[in-house]
Structure 1
Amino acid sequence: MMEPSTSPSPVPSEIFALVILLVISIVVLFILRYYLPLRTTPAYLLVPVFFALWLPASMVLLVPIDLASTAIGDDIAARGIWLEAAPLRVSWRLTYWLTFSLTWFILPILAEYSDSGYREPKGKILDSLHANAQYYAIVFGSGAAGLIYVLISYGHFSESLKSTVMALAYCWGLILAIYLMGHGLVAIPRRLLRDANASGRLRRIQSQAPKTYEQMEDAEMDLEDLEMQVSELSRRKGGSVTLFQDWIEELVDLTNLPEQPASARVIRGSGDNSKILPTVITEKYMAELTRRLVRAKHARSRYVNEWNRLLQDAVRTQAILDSAASKKLDFGASYSHASFWDRYSPLNPYTRFLFHYHAVPYFRVGIGGFLALASVCIIWSEVVKGLVPQASVIRYSVIHHWEGDNGQVGLAGQVIAAFWMLYMCAAALISITEVKVWRGRALVRRNTAPESAFWYASQVARLSVPLSYNFMTFLGEIYRETVFYDFLGQLINLTPLGKYFDYLFPAFILIPVCATLFGLYGKVRRTIGLGVDVIDEDDDGEGTNVYGTGTWREGRDLIERELNGTSAAIRGRRVEAAARIAGHSDRRAAPVLSVPSSSRPGPTTPFGTSPNARPVANSSARRVGPSTPRAGLTEPEDENFFEALGHRFKNTIDTIDTPKWFQDIGQGMKKPKWMGGADEDEGLGSRLAGPTRGNSDVRRWFGGGEGRIRL
């Protein structure tokens, strides 16, 4: 019988850690593949972004291993996965300094490099350094002030520079992490609980439709304006244009001008397209035009993707609601972005109905309630860790093997610690995707802009270290024995200011939590007049009826029109109206609303990704035309008595035919000049005196013609 070894080998733990790192690498590659085309993405983008995601993910593995490896306890077998101090210290140093370099130097420079419009690498690098000059001036200025403070407090220079850099980076990351995590700890469980109600989820989707559609429309128009500039630039001959002929040809290749009719390429608000170009074409102008064109293409792709996803969610949710009568659920033909489960699901229509209509809502309620309880535990631990660390709930959920006042982390505690860290990181990162940032950065499936990919990767890297160290402070005195504390914590607690900041500032997580929980963001925006495009989540899908946004009824009509294929006819009428405006811009300066006819249905392409198939209608008057049949979208009309009475009067007046005696007015009498009499224009008078109803429309008295109203 063999006696147990007194010093067990860490080889099994090392093998397990390597396997987990391999799994993390595969997961990161799948994430990159979801947002970026791996085959066409250059290596200078893929490699830094991969490490910016892989290194923070590895911290979720390093923190539990560090806790189990250095926690005080004589029972080595109860440690779980552990490593020796030397390789653990090397791992922390490599992870921290690589993450630090990516966050503050590599990713910002590469982001501006990819966003630069210059053709040559030298010009891109100089443009990137120039764009980051102000950013680095602020960073180095803060570092110099912090260095002076540390020198006064600590009195030595050997560790002052490194401690100042690490402490300032940690403090800035902690401020951002606490705010974003506080928002996400409320948003994640609330979204799960609200999505359990299918009718409420459909109402919220419909409330978001007008805003999303308007953003997509504006993005398409901005792109058309820039494409028209490129078209005018390509037609200019001689002068300074000859110096950039190859560059101009590359821009023409980036546009879709050959695929669009000439009447559609009209610059808004411009009667002479040549005025949009400067007299002398310079390299700086070409670089700025290239930058704007690339940004506009990615913006159009982003909003088209959001609109398609909104349509997809609306169709799926409506199908779930409609299946209550037939007890059968069929989502129809597989669309291009359908998941693997939707394409190869083993469920038949009846079992699919049971799963989506009955099981999924209860599952969402259960997961939402569980995550809500986890959010409460994290918020409570943040508040009490500086005053009463023994009251931390997370501390007792991770440390199971207690020996007096000390404890030890086992395998179960490591798994729970990994869960806590994953949830904290997910709350912060989901908040980043929801917050509106400058330049319209967004993550788009298979078409994320390089600058957006660099920016989001830098935020992930920036938040990883503060969140990891902040989690370890929940565990009381046990975290002071870890290698991570010896490497980073001592430098943070080097001065009294850093120590108090680390313990007291996380209590301010209550501010974003309360702001998100009670909808303070929307209330403040509406109070100060900035709520023109805000749809509050606190309205349960009703939307905020403010200037410039539509209600859920308008969103429902937009979705119906897209699914019924009437948007192609509306686009055709808009193109004709744009051509008329361009041809008569000198005589008609006011905008014209074209009322489309309902007798010209277009092709049904609810999930197409082609930009030419997207509806382009006037978002401020989307419901002026006849309503299309509501195919299955049967939401109740919540109208009171006065609204119903007003609608009845409106429908009655709209269906009244013009009397014959009113149509004949003007045939036997001479109209004055202010009404467009025959003395001013005989042709116009004869048309106004015609027998048809459309020719006697009173809308012509207000400057309209052929069914158009001048606003």
Structure 2
Amino acid sequence: MNEIILAGSQPSPVPSEIFALLALLAISIVVLLILRHYLPLRTTPAYLLVPVFFALWLPASMVVLVPIDLASSAMVDDIDARGIWLEPRALRVSWRITYWLTFSLTWFILPILAEYSDSGYREPKDKVMDSLRANAQYYAIVFGSGFLLLIYVLVSYGHFSESLKSTVMALAYCWGLVLAIYLMGHGLVAIPRKILRNADISGRLRRIQSQAPRVYEQMEDAEMNLEDLEMQVLELSKRGKHGSARDFQDWIEELMDMTNLPESQPSARVLRGSGEASSKNLPTVITEKYMADLTRRLVRAKHARSRYLNEWNRLLEDAVHTQAILDSAASKKLDFGTPSATSGFWDRFTILTPYTRYLWYYRVVPILRIAFGILLGLASACVVWSEVVKGLLPSLSVIRYTVIHHWVGDTGKGQIGFAGQVIAALWMVYMCAAALTSITEVKVWRGRALVRRNTAPESACWYASQVARLSVPLSYNFMTFLGGVYKDTVFYDFLGQLINLTPLGKWFDYLFPMFVLLPVCATLFGLYGKVKRMFGFGADVIDVIDDEDAEGTAYGTGSWREGRDLIERELNGTSAAIRGRRADAASRLAAAAPGSGRGAPVMNIPGARRSTGAPTTPLGTSPTVRPQANTSARRVRAAAGEAEPEDENFFEALGHRVKNTIDTFDTPKWFQDIGQGIKKPKWMTGAGEGSSGGGSSRPQPQGRENSDIRRWFGGSDGRIRL
């Protein structure tokens, strides 16, 4: 009877379950809004949209599941004080579903879908086979590394104390923790520093102007690459009815529909000889593999052009708004003008008057940014401190005391209420935001980027897989901040015990997070900027612009003054006149060139051809009509007639930078004078006995035309062929 009474007095988890369902529904709405911001929902196929949705939704649900698990499993005296809680069985089922779906999306589903969407083949079967071939190397590295670690476990213990599944889970966690700690360490410094820097309006404008030359050059390079591929498709269409190209006539027509070629090519493109270069690039025999590669490169080039065009337009809009805020200090009135088509939802409402808008943006917003930046800086310091001390002195963890408010006696354990759950969720959101923000800033991911309403499917799958990969390590790493409380959770029973399967896993879990100090110090003291200035990688490393180097220059970029001129010419619409004068000069040079059918070299002017439906800048000017950025890399590349490779690794980038530097050197005078006073022997000059010296270039008699020693090396025209 007493048991029946006690059972009836136990509180029901139904209110907590309803709250959890409402929280998951809110997370679903937020994820859909994120997908709508970066992807066209109507045109994105369902086989891509559904996995990407779950790859974002499952990690976001961990922000709710971890606090619920902490409150449900901690030592509890008063059940009503533990906030939102669920039954252990429900928690275990939730963790199993969340973990294994995330694991499958990370390691199998999303990588295959990413390469499938990036494949240039037309048939689904060919796309699948191409995706499997592209992922073969990736899986070989993953499974090879896993096999070596399995041998280590077998040698250490002689047998598996747990199942093979447990070992795989532990290895996947260790790999995810390595990436998560590095990215989170960078973001913990970059986020508050960026907020604090943006509080200075003039400094923010200076940094925008310093970024303009680099962004402009990247956009022009993307346009040049796209135009070259479009011309190659045009030349391919001319051969579509002849030879091996007849088998791919429909495919070629689809490629022509993807291009933006007008009926008449501009004179600058024709004079530049791009048609001849494109025809030379075409193989003699057109194969299916070549068509797939051309399709993939064309799609990538279109997305790259869209990416840099979007980045350039956003930079122009930021420059206009920042300049307007800075200029409002004199008139005490601020008016941003008519909102552009790319403006956000809230930017289209004009609730504030010009004077109140001035007070808000010029007076209040900088103070709020300083306060918020200081707050996030303190939060970053707490996270770093908790990472360092959690293995040796867990009682000194700051996060532990902010989450656990109800301590139980002298046992060192406590219970977590609703306020602690909210604070824990906020800590997890900030840690995940620090890691995910770093992913978008690191420019070493094969040109992948998130573009508003036009993100490439392959990029969307890749970024979603990174979010899924980082969620589990960051969630478990946060739980270790709380001391012995986390060992009573279902998550620890499901995953934590498997991580401690070997002494290596235990020490790795406690000591490796201390290496968060490496990315923190590297970002805090500007190590990335120093490396960029030393080796000249441009956008191949994390884009860190130091305040003290705002007026300096780096490779591929100009000073803030050059960026200011580029922005002013773009906004004032003078770039069209500049481009027209350059095109006229190129035409005159080509017309004045001597015969033999080859024109004189002309200036490379990308972007002269555009359709009337091109997007516009915030002020209504065409974003594709721009002045040419004057950089050494562009001069060398234009002179050599080569395009910069799409994907460069560390050594290729370093080799190109060294080559460009050497090519732009002027030969010293002392080096040019070497050999002027040395006379050449007669047998080297080819002169007769009446020759006057080494500098003579008089032709030799007809009878001795081929009796020179040079003919042994294959030449008789003043050169020796080795």
Separation in 1, partners of 2:276, 2:586: 11
SS at match of 2:446: helix
1:242 to 242, 246, 260: 246
1:358 to 345, 354, 363: 363
State TM-score, norm by structure 1.
Answer: 0.82
Q: Contact 2:198 / 2:204 at 8 angstroms: preserved in 1?
A: yes
Residues 673-708 of structure 1: CA distance to partner in whole angstroms, max 9, x if unpaired? xxxxxxxxxxxxxxxxxxxxxxxxxxxxxxxxxxxx
Residue 569 of structure 1 aligns with an amino acid whose one-letter code is A
1:115 to 108, 118, 131: 118
Report how far residue 538 of structure 1 moved: 1.6
Pair 1:330–1:5, CA change in 2 (3 A): farther
Residue of structure 2 equivalent to 1:650: none
Residues 121-160 of structure 1: CA distance to partner in whole angstroms, max 9, x if unpaired? 0110110000000000011111111222222334444724
Residue of structure 1 equivalent to 2:630: 619
Residue of structure 2 equivalent to 1:402: 407
Q: Does 1:561 align with 2:572?
A: no
2:217 to 200, 214, 219: 214
Residue 116 of structure 2 aligns with an amino acid whose one-letter code is Y
Residue of structure 2 equivalent to 1:91: 94
Separation in 1, partners of 2:344, 2:116: 34
SS at match of 2:546: helix
Q: Contact 1:311 / 1:607 at 8 angstroms: preserved in 2?
A: yes
Most deviating of 309-318 and 566-575: 566-575
Residue of structure 2 equivalent to 1:490: 497
Separation in 1, partners of 2:92, 2:620: 49
Q: Contact 1:308 / 1:608 at 8 angstroms: preserved in 2?
A: no
Residue of structure 2 equivalent to 1:255: 259
Separation in 2, partners of 1:114, 1:268: 34
Residue of structure 2 equivalent to 1:647: none
Matches within 5 A, 1:632-643: none
Q: Contact 2:444 / 2:540 at 8 angstroms: preserved in 1?
A: no
Report how far residue 63 of structure 1 moved: 0.2
Separation in 1, partners of 2:603, 2:482: 66
SS at match of 1:82: coil
1:548 to 537, 541, 556: 556
Report how far residue 223 of structure 1 moved: 0.3
Pair 1:444–1:577, CA change in 2 (3 A): farther
Q: Contact 1:304 / 1:609 at 8 angstroms: preserved in 2?
A: no
Separation in 2, partners of 1:611, 1:465: 45
1:31 to 12, 30, 34: 34
Q: Contact 2:212 / 2:566 at 8 angstroms: preserved in 1?
A: yes
Matches within 5 A, 1:236-635: 236=239, 237-258=241-262, 261-266=265-270, 271-404=276-409, 405-530=412-537, 536-540=544-548, 542-576=550-584, 592=603, 606-607=617-618, 613-620=624-631
Report how far residue 5 of structure 1 moved: 6.0
Residues 204-225 of structure 1: CA distance to partner in whole angstroms, max 9, x if unpaired? 0000000000100110011000
Residue 59 of structure 2 aligns with an amino acid whose one-letter code is P
Separation in 2, partners of 1:378, 1:268: 58
Q: Contact 2:537 / 2:555 at 8 angstroms: preserved in 1?
A: no
Pair 1:528–1:305, CA change in 2 (3 A): closer
Separation in 2, partners of 1:358, 1:325: 13
Pair 1:497–1:273, CA change in 2 (3 A): closer
Paired residues in the alignment total 614
Residue 631 of structure 2 aligns with an amino acid whose one-letter code is S
SS at match of 2:414: strand
Pair 1:366–1:268, CA change in 2 (3 A): farther
Separation in 2, partners of 1:611, 1:164: 57
Most deviating of 273-282 and 419-428: 273-282
Residue of structure 2 equivalent to 1:687: none
Report how far residue 521 of structure 1 moved: 1.4
Q: Contact 1:225 / 1:265 at 8 angstroms: preserved in 2?
A: no
Residue of structure 2 equivalent to 1:630: none
Residue 248 of structure 2 aligns with an amino acid whose one-letter code is F
Report how far residue 617 of structure 1 moved: 1.9
Residues 277-328 of structure 1: CA distance to partner in whole angstroms, max 9, x if unpaired? 1111000000000000000000000000000000000000000011111111
Pair 1:31–1:506, CA change in 2 (3 A): same
State TM-score, norm by structure 2.
Answer: 0.81
Separation in 2, partners of 1:346, 1:269: 53
Q: Does 1:171 align with 2:177?
A: no
Most deviating of 265-274 and 217-226: 265-274
Structure 1 residues not aligned, in runs of 5+: 595-602, 625-711
SS at match of 1:30: helix
Pair 1:575–1:107, CA change in 2 (3 A): farther
Report how far residue 406 of structure 1 moved: 1.3
Q: Contact 1:565 / 1:605 at 8 angstroms: preserved in 2?
A: no
Residue of structure 2 equivalent to 1:60: 63
Q: Does 1:200 align with 2:207?
A: no
Q: Contact 2:69 / 2:489 at 8 angstroms: preserved in 1?
A: yes
Residues 147-200 of structure 1: CA distance to partner in whole angstroms, max 9, x if unpaired? 222223344447241122111110110000000000000000000000001000
Structure 2 residues not aligned, in runs of 5+: 606-613, 636-722
Separation in 1, partners of 2:6, 2:107: 53
SS at match of 1:159: coil
Q: Does 1:231 align with 2:234?
A: yes
SS at match of 1:440: coil
Separation in 2, partners of 1:609, 1:473: 53
Report how far residue 591 of structure 1 moved: 5.5
Residue 378 of structure 1 aligns with an amino acid whose one-letter code is V
Report how far residue 607 of structure 1 moved: 2.5
Q: Contact 1:108 / 1:455 at 8 angstroms: preserved in 2?
A: yes
Q: Contact 1:56 / 1:461 at 8 angstroms: preserved in 2?
A: yes
1:79 to 67, 79, 82: 82
SS at match of 1:407: strand
Pair 1:322–1:621, CA change in 2 (3 A): farther
Separation in 1, partners of 2:393, 2:37: 44
Separation in 2, partners of 1:49, 1:574: 46
SS at match of 1:402: strand
Separation in 2, partners of 1:608, 1:564: 9
Pair 1:586–1:350, CA change in 2 (3 A): same
Separation in 1, partners of 2:401, 2:623: 58
Q: Contact 1:263 / 1:576 at 8 angstroms: preserved in 2?
A: no
Pair 1:37–1:577, CA change in 2 (3 A): farther
Report how far residue 615 of structure 1 moved: 1.6
Residue of structure 2 equivalent to 1:688: none
Separation in 1, partners of 2:586, 2:265: 12
Pair 1:363–1:311, CA change in 2 (3 A): same
Separation in 1, partners of 2:539, 2:134: 31
Pair 1:582–1:88, CA change in 2 (3 A): farther
Q: Contact 1:400 / 1:407 at 8 angstroms: preserved in 2?
A: yes
Report how far residue 608 of structure 1 moved: 7.4
Pair 1:465–1:574, CA change in 2 (3 A): farther
Separation in 2, partners of 1:417, 1:345: 37
Residue 444 of structure 2 aligns with an amino acid whose one-letter code is V
Most deviating of 566-575 and 30-39: 566-575
Separation in 2, partners of 1:408, 1:272: 72
Residue 253 of structure 1 aligns with an amino acid whose one-letter code is D
Pair 1:100–1:544, CA change in 2 (3 A): farther
SS at match of 2:420: helix
